[in-house]
Structure 1
Amino acid sequence: MGNTRGAAAFAVWYLRVVASVNFLSAVWVTLGQDVRRHNQADFFTPYLLTAGFAPGLFTAFLAVTMSRRKRAAWILNLGLSGAFLGLFALAMAFPEIRSHSQNWVSLALTAAFVVALLAGRRAFYAKGDRSNPRLAAAVGAGGLLGASLLAALLVTVTNRASEPSTFLERWRYGALRLVSVAADGRRLSGIAPPTWVDVAVNVLSTALLLAVLYAAFRSRRAVDPLTEDDEKRLRELLDRHGERDSLGYFALRREKSVCWSPTGKAAVAYRVVGGVSLASGDPLGDPEAWPGAIEPWLAEARAHGWIPAVTGASEEAGTVYARHGLDALELGDEAVVDVAEFTLEGRAMRTVRQACNRVRRAGYTVRVRRHEDIPADEMAYLLRRADDWRDGAAERGFSMALGRLGDPRDGRCVMLECTDADGELRALLSFVPWGPHGLSLDLMRRDRHGDNGLTEFMVIELLRRARESGIAQVSLNFAVFRSVFERGARLGAGPVLRLWRSLLCFFSRWWQIESLYRANAKYRPVWEPRFLLFEKSADLPRIAVASARAEGFLEAPGLPGLPGRPRRGRLETRR
């Protein structure tokens, strides 16, 4: 196993070095000239060392896909390098080529790379999507047709030749330049585009090549979502162990998939986003059976080349995941209110008390019902109002939001409806069950024209009535990096902590990081830490982008796996 990993690592680093030399050759003129001269004369450079940005991008792409253990990338590299090595060996039969010492060095490097590929073949096990070959062929054919037509159009518009030429000739010129990167225009007297057009067509060729490679090597984008049987079994686990995790009910989001333990006593709910297998919250079920669900989830991620990550895990679950090779980063804290301990008395609660009294004097009232007790016509009205108040078209939430409202199977969820003195609905809160004696906030919607303090009024009303309904604890919003805001504002905080707090305050202009912390701190909750779990620190940027996409803060237009533009607005769902 050690030899296999060492050989695989050598192959990946070989590609990284070659990519670096290719990029360096593009900016270092003399080095680039030397490499090109060797390729054109009776000299041979090592596999994929051709000088320039385009081969550098190609080699870098292969290095990335090989580092992710993609089987398809291994097959491509073995085929190309094996063919190159075979031709190289045949060429060495000629004395004039064999006499140059640099050719022997090139032959040795290429042979070492091929041997490393063969020795490390078992390390490249990640499967691609079965549709990748068809998609790559479609992208290549369609892209070549579109790019060649665009190249012909550019040549037509900018052609400086004095002699006439047909569009078919200009199209052939553009297509040849796309394929060969350097079409000989001297043979076509009627075609003389400026240099920048040739460069633009070459850039277009590189972009097309990368698009084809992406389509050929992309990871499997998704697995089977929850089936009715999966959801039934998950609900049974929640009935038996749902009180362990306030986020357990959110495993029922239907775009998620699930990995079961062999005994069926535990499960990991996850979603694949941008090549990241993103689990949320703690595993469901019996903690003793958690390893049995974590292991197949990790095995599936590695089999498909996905990056495994967990967002919003508790300390108990983080400890179990750590035994399976995942590292932990404190993500923030969850605000949990103990109903028996909560009180509005005291100076610390004066602001909340005053806000509630002001709203109550204005004639607002709160109605609390289970979803199953709301008639269908009334639920339809609530859904319309919730949609009207939503900020933006995208529904936000993944790890700490259910992503749906009014589903008949969520009848045990609790709805709070706040109406003004005229009986007009002004705000909604929806909570999901947290075991038999808890509630977890799922949805927050309010009319922007309603009075300030509506949310505080509704939460206080829920806590007041919770004692009568047997509810012992209520989970509110999640505060990202809560400890940074709290410790960074204290006297004597260090410069690094103050800088970190300043950065979070800056980004709070878009994502309300600080305001969520302050909005929940006023209830004097118990702060329960939540963690982000990952295998390698180098994967954190991709995990962050995948989490943002899953939560609805980033959209990915066009090609899958690319982040979109962040949406600005207040948080509409729970966290």
Structure 2
Amino acid sequence: MTNTDNSPRRRELLPRRCSKLARRSAAVPVWYLRVVGALNLVCGVSISLRNQVDHHNSGQYFTPFMFFAGFSSAAAAIFLGMMLRRRKNAAWITVTGLVGGYVALSVWALCYHDYSQHPFNWASTAVSLAVLVFTVLGRREFYAKGDRTNPLLASYVLGAGAAIAVLVGTTLVTAVGPDKADVNDRIMFVVLRMVTLIRTDDFPQLHVPHWVDLSINLTSLALLLLVLYALFRSPRGKELLSEEDEGRLRSLLERHGGRDSLGYFALRRDKSVIFSPSGKAAVTYREVGGVSLASGDPIGDVEAWPGAIEAWLAEAREHAWIPAVMGASEEGGTVYARHGLDALELGDEAVVEVAEFTLEGRAMRGVRQAYNRVQRAGYTTVVRRHADIPEEEMAVLLERADQWRDGQTERGFSMALGRLGDPADGQCVMVECYDGEKKLRALLSFVPWGTKGLSLDLMRRDRNSENGLMEFMVLDLIQNSSAVGVKRVSLNFAMFRSVFERGARLGAGPVLRMWRAALLFFSRWWQIESLYRANAKYRPIWEPRYLLFDKSASLPRIGLASARAEGFVTPPSLLSRRGGGPR
């Protein structure tokens, strides 16, 4: 499935670069920081090694760039290496400035002090100078743009964080007394401990337990990581969907909306859009956690899809975003794969063809009985377009939908519109269910799938209503589909449907059975199996849906970004930004 870095498809994902020398040179500072970070980590664990490195740096010796034994220096080196690996221009500027300053300081020490008599110092300077040279030679490889607000945000985080850290540290040092040090000595000790890991021997008037030293160290490490995070955040995505963009997308959907059941969800207003050069196709996406997350197939003319995909990938490269697509169809996935993305089957979409659907037969006995039971209880449905619902009645439906929502977070990204009752969505279809007393008990909302199809968007029900209410409403919609001119209906997405189906068969292999058992276990918290069974009862046509990604190593970040976009994971709001939270 996964391509090697030398394959033609993989090279299409990489930006055009100047020379082989620049590519190889750019790898040197990345690997140097990784190695130095690992060494710093080892020294942080080993007291003897740490003491030796500290002795070199505090005596007449000095070590190569960033080799400053300890967890803080390890975290800084590894983080800077990661940012360079993502080709961030801000990281290149930072590393170049730091290593350049360190080389200048080393040369000054060699020329104007007695340090030149030690060969170790010449070797350290040579290593640091080599890193600087290779970093400069690889300049054009670090092309990824950063957010212009990052330096200001990093300065705010540094100022506020340092003030809080010093205040907390000073409070701890004071609380563990008694000692003879005044407040200025305590503050000075905390500051120096955060910056240089100074020992309490230099402040004999202080009596600080080891756990307080450790707390101050961890605070400084957390502050360092927060500052680096703020400094190197990926830039925001393009402006969210404007009225002009939405109008262009609606025009494309009018001509080509029948191709993909998820096409209408491209109109979510928390997405951004990028059009092909011809304007005949578009890819909608959201930037979440450094991942450019698209959903479904491109919108528009199939022949123009490559242009839109190339423009989307080019933007992702420019900002060092990881490109990924959720829920692409087999046709869309094939086109994405031609541009260097690999595919992983996520599950299947349940599609019911109205003309072929029937309640007859033993396989539909359970559904038929549930339908008849709800019908005998006096429940009825009303099926109509949103545009046909009076404003007062729509307000009541919106109020009930909010009351029945499970939790405060509105979930959905790839297969949900994220709004209800908007005047622009007049062609959406509402299915309302009333009990025998004409009280609203549940509602379903479907978005258009071309001119002859519907795709499920929202399901809400009163928890005190009759069991089987959703099945009753879906069957009523199918049986009365001619009233709204519908020939096919797309229902819920069943993740890993093939695993449940094949894993339960006679003769299933041990790996497949273990995979199915794991999914059954996690179904206790997430509706994985229940969604499959809820869809399977209609005997639908299963249409596979795929996840597209650039490389396997990116899957954890893509998974986290998808969970955030779908509303299953809510990030802290400290550094969050509109349209996807913190990068």
Band of TM-score, shorter chain: over 0.9
Deviates more, 1:233-242 or 1:114-123: 114-123
Residue 249 (1) aligns with residue 264 (2): yes
- 8 Å CA contact 2:384, 2:484 repeated in 1: no
Q: Which residue matches 2:517?
A: 502
Structure 2 SS opposite 1:398: coil
Deviates more, 1:508-517 or 1:96-105: 96-105
- 8 Å CA contact 2:37, 2:73 repeated in 1: yes
Q: Which residue matches 2:164?
A: 146
Residue 173 (1) aligns with residue 213 (2): no
Distance 1:272 1:532 in 2: 16
Distance 2:419 2:433 in 1: 20
- 8 Å CA contact 1:366, 1:419 repeated in 2: yes
Distance 1:32 1:412 in 2: 69
Structure-2 change in CA distance of 1:210 and 1:280 (3 Å):
same
Partner amino acid for 2:55?
R
Structure-2 change in CA distance of 1:102 and 1:169 (3 Å):
closer
- 8 Å CA contact 2:453, 2:487 repeated in 1: yes
Q: Which residue matches 1:419?
A: 434
Q: Deviations over 1:419-444 (max 9, x none)?
A: 11111111100000000000000000
What is the CA distance between 1:321 and its match in structure 2? 1.1
Distance 2:390 2:482 in 1: 25
Q: Which residue matches 2:316?
A: 301
Structure 1 SS opposite 2:356: coil
Structure 1 residues 156-555: aligned runs within 5 Å: 156-161=174-179, 163=180, 165-182=181-198, 186-187=202-203, 189=205, 191-555=206-570
Residue 78 (1) aligns with residue 96 (2): yes
Q: Deviations over 1:361-388 (max 9, x none)?
A: 1111011010000000100000111111
Deviates more, 1:323-332 or 1:381-390: 323-332
Distance 1:92 1:157 in 2: 45
What is the CA distance between 1:183 and its match in structure 2? 6.3
- 8 Å CA contact 2:454, 2:489 repeated in 1: yes
Partner amino acid for 2:170?
A
Partner amino acid for 1:392?
G
Distance 1:76 1:424 in 2: 64
Distance 2:52 2:191 in 1: 28
Q: Which residue matches 1:30?
A: 48
Distance 1:268 1:224 in 2: 14
Partner of residue 8 from structure 1, selected from 26, 34, 41? 26
Residue 44 (1) aligns with residue 62 (2): yes
Q: Which residue matches 2:144?
A: 126
Distance 2:81 2:408 in 1: 38
Distance 1:469 1:404 in 2: 21
Structure 2 SS opposite 1:511: coil
Partner amino acid for 1:58?
A
- 8 Å CA contact 1:160, 1:194 repeated in 2: no
Structure 2 SS opposite 1:530: strand
Distance 2:133 2:508 in 1: 55
Structure 1: 5+ residue stretches without partners: 563-575
What is the CA distance between 1:185 and its match in structure 2? 6.6
What is the CA distance between 1:307 and its match in structure 2? 1.1
Q: Which residue matches 2:84?
A: 66
Higher relative contact order (CA 8 A, sep 6+): 2
Distance 1:496 1:5 in 2: 41
Distance 1:449 1:98 in 2: 83
Q: Deviations over 1:233-255 (max 9, x none)?
A: 10000000000100000000001
Structure-2 change in CA distance of 1:138 and 1:508 (3 Å):
same
Partner amino acid for 1:45?
T
Structure 2 SS opposite 1:6: helix
Partner amino acid for 1:76?
T
Distance 2:138 2:104 in 1: 20
What is the CA distance between 1:181 and its match in structure 2? 2.9
What is the CA distance between 1:96 and its match in structure 2? 6.0
Distance 2:131 2:186 in 1: 41
TM-align CA RMSD: 1.8
- 8 Å CA contact 1:173, 1:185 repeated in 2: no
Structure 1 SS opposite 2:256: helix
Distance 1:204 1:9 in 2: 32
Q: Which residue matches 1:572?
A: none
Q: Deviations over 1:284-308 (max 9, x none)?
A: 0001111111112111112112111
Distance 1:87 1:167 in 2: 34
What is the CA distance between 1:82 and its match in structure 2? 1.2
Deviates more, 1:315-324 or 1:85-94: 85-94
Structure 2 SS opposite 1:243: coil
What is the CA distance between 1:205 and its match in structure 2? 1.1
Q: Which residue matches 1:110?
A: 128
What is the CA distance between 1:222 and its match in structure 2? 3.5
Structure-2 change in CA distance of 1:174 and 1:42 (3 Å):
closer
What is the CA distance between 1:98 and its match in structure 2? 4.4
Q: Deviations over 1:24-54 (max 9, x none)?
A: 1112333323322222233332210111111
Deviates more, 1:423-432 or 1:314-323: 314-323
Partner amino acid for 1:75?
I
Structure 1 SS opposite 2:413: coil
What is the CA distance between 1:346 and its match in structure 2? 0.8
Question: Taking structure 2 as the reference length, what is the TM-score of the superposition?
Answer: 0.93
Distance 2:21 2:447 in 1: 51
What is the CA distance between 1:7 and its match in structure 2? 1.5
Partner amino acid for 1:293?
A
Distance 1:100 1:482 in 2: 68
Distance 2:47 2:540 in 1: 64
- 8 Å CA contact 2:200, 2:207 repeated in 1: no
What is the CA distance between 1:105 and its match in structure 2? 3.5
- 8 Å CA contact 1:364, 1:418 repeated in 2: yes
Distance 2:43 2:270 in 1: 46
Distance 1:155 1:81 in 2: 35
Partner amino acid for 1:279?
A
* Count of residues in Structure 1 that have an aligned counterpart in Structure 2: 559
- 8 Å CA contact 1:339, 1:467 repeated in 2: no
Deviates more, 1:226-235 or 1:485-494: 485-494
Structure-2 change in CA distance of 1:273 and 1:167 (3 Å):
same
- 8 Å CA contact 2:72, 2:224 repeated in 1: no
Structure 2 SS opposite 1:244: coil
Structure 2 SS opposite 1:135: helix
Structure-2 change in CA distance of 1:91 and 1:78 (3 Å):
same
Question: Taking structure 1 as the reference length, what is the TM-score of the superposition?
Answer: 0.94
Distance 1:466 1:440 in 2: 13
Distance 2:96 2:171 in 1: 38
